[in-house]
A = this chain, B = another copy of it.
């Protein structure tokens, strides 16, 4: 029986596994986490709207009825392409076909020291970390008697004006102006300053200029200070330095979030080392038209880890629909090969893209049609609920959203872990402690 090993249980890996359900193969899905994460809604966890369990599904539960698939919790270190084995930290798994779909993580453009000060948003732990930092900033402001210091606690800087930055900024603004409006006695959360800093000349740079302008206006209506053409030059404890043209500005703040750079998973380098495949600038593996690696028809790289340039000349974007379609395509290729048929080249069918700004506010580009405002928001809501992998999650998320919509309430505003509100200067020390523990 053909042994297919899939590394990574994100959209690409999971859809590949499911598309192989009826194929005469044995599927092994390896992930270091025991759940599939619905990353597009991670910003909702970071802002207290949803619980981690609402957007994560145990991989075993998703695949329990697929008799030809097994799930293995393990950390992949390397690939032995000569013996055709995946090298785990504590074992090896032989394969006949290999699908590498280990995704991407943050990238600080060489400023790795910024990471503890400006966490990104890729994992459940990132989301609960950001949630705790945001909530603790409001708590610390409530306890701070000095107005100037209080304003520093109430300043939030988001680096990066792509979908994640826009969504986080919108959700933060809604929390401050609506959800927590009556929660405090000393501060008025509406005094919070939310700065969205983007290096190019507009937010959502992958959308049309018209939609970017609409998104920026929607954010400004929510009170977000949108700063385009603005580069972050330094992130230090208590202050972010930005540059606009030749002018530098120091923004005192204790809460910075990183939504700017993404780099491919380190397993890209392992694939390149083992097969001689090329990597692009952000570490993605340059793949063939059928998503295989040059010289290895049995090894496929898909999703955020793959650089697929055969359709538009530039790499396809790192979004869930690309990964899902690539996962299904590779499954089909493996099935065809077992029948003795030739592989077909992959074609991405772009159903459109959308970003949400807040309640009743979103932008969507669906082929030639551009939507914004309420209609785009409804479309966004519908698509995201439908895509959630398991029925239970859909139902729960729907309940929670209906409730949030009616009441502005966000019930998952928990500060977990060992934490306390900070006095000035402490935050940096805590962050360093965290980084050390994470290492």
Give residues in A with beta carbon < 8 Å to B. 32-35, 50-54, 56-58, 60-61, 64-65, 70-75, 89-91, 124-125, 128, 135-136, 139, 142-143, 180, 182-186, 390, 392-393, 395-396, 399-400, 403, 407, 409, 411-418, 420-421, 423, 437-438
Instruction: Tell whether, in the assembled complex, residue B70 and residue A185 are in contact, meaning their CB atoms are under 8 Å apart.
Output: yes
Closest B residue to A57 by CB, please name it: B411
Which 8 pairs show the lowest CB-CB distances between chains A and B? A53-B412, A51-B53, A51-B51, A60-B183, A70-B185, A73-B139, A64-B182, A58-B413
Return chain B residues, CB-CB under 8 Å to A403.
Answer: 392, 395-396
Task: Report chain B residues within 8 Å CB of A74.
Answer: 143, 420-421
Q: CB distance A52 to B414 under 8 Å?
A: yes
Q: Which residues of B contact A32 (CB under 8 A)?
A: 420
Point out the residues of chain B lying under 8 angstroms from A409, CB to CB: 61, 392
| Chain B CB within 10 Å, residue with most, of A182, A185, A400, A415 | A185
Compute how far the CA of A423 lies from the CA of B334 in the bound complex, rounded to whole angstroms. Answer: 34
Q: Which residue of B lies closest to A65 (CB)?
A: B182
Kindly list chain B residues whose C-beta atoms are within 8 Å of the C-beta of A420: 32, 73-75, 89
Copies in the complex: 2
Nearest chain B CB to A420 CB, angstrom units: 6
* Contact partners of A407 in chain B: CB under 8 A: 392
Given contacts A124-B416, A183-B61, A417-B125, contact A34 B139 (CB under 8 A): yes
Docked pose: A91 CA to B423 CA in angstroms: 11
> By CB atoms of chain B within 10 A, which of A58, A142, A437 has the most?
A58
Select from chain B the residue with minimum beta-carbon distance to A420.
B75
Cβ distance A78 to chain B, nearest Cβ, rounded Å: 16
Interchain CA distance A91-B403 in the complex, whole Å: 38
A411 contacts across to B, CB distance below 8 A: 53, 57-58, 61, 390, 392-393, 396
**Bound-complex Cα distance A28 to B344 (A):** 68
Picked from B52, B60, B437, the residue with its CB within 8 Å of the CB of A180 is B60
Q: Which residue of B lies closest to A399 (CB)?
A: B399
Q: How far apart are the CA atoms of A407 and B437 in the complex, in Å?
A: 39
- List residues of chain B with CB within 8 A of the CB of A413: 34-35, 58, 61
Tell me if B57 and A54 are in contact (CB < 8 A).
no
Task: Please tell me if the beta carbons of B52 and A415 are within 8 angstroms of each other in the complex.
Answer: no
Could you pull out 16 A-B pairs where Cβ atoms are within 8 angstroms? A33-B415, A53-B53, A58-B183, A58-B413, A61-B411, A65-B182, A72-B142, A73-B415, A74-B420, A75-B420, A90-B423, A124-B416, A125-B416, A128-B416, A392-B403, A396-B400
Complex contact A58–B414 (CB within 8 A): yes
B183 and A414 form a contact (CB under 8 A): no
Given A61-B409, A392-B400: 9 more A-B contacts, CB < 8 Å? A51-B53, A53-B412, A56-B414, A72-B143, A390-B411, A392-B409, A392-B411, A418-B437, A418-B438
Query: Cα distance A186–B60 when bound, in Å?
Result: 13
A184 / chain B contacts, CB cutoff of 8 Å:
60, 70
- CB-defined contacts of A65 to chain B, threshold 8 Å: 182
Least Cβ–Cβ distance between A186 and chain B, in angstroms? 8
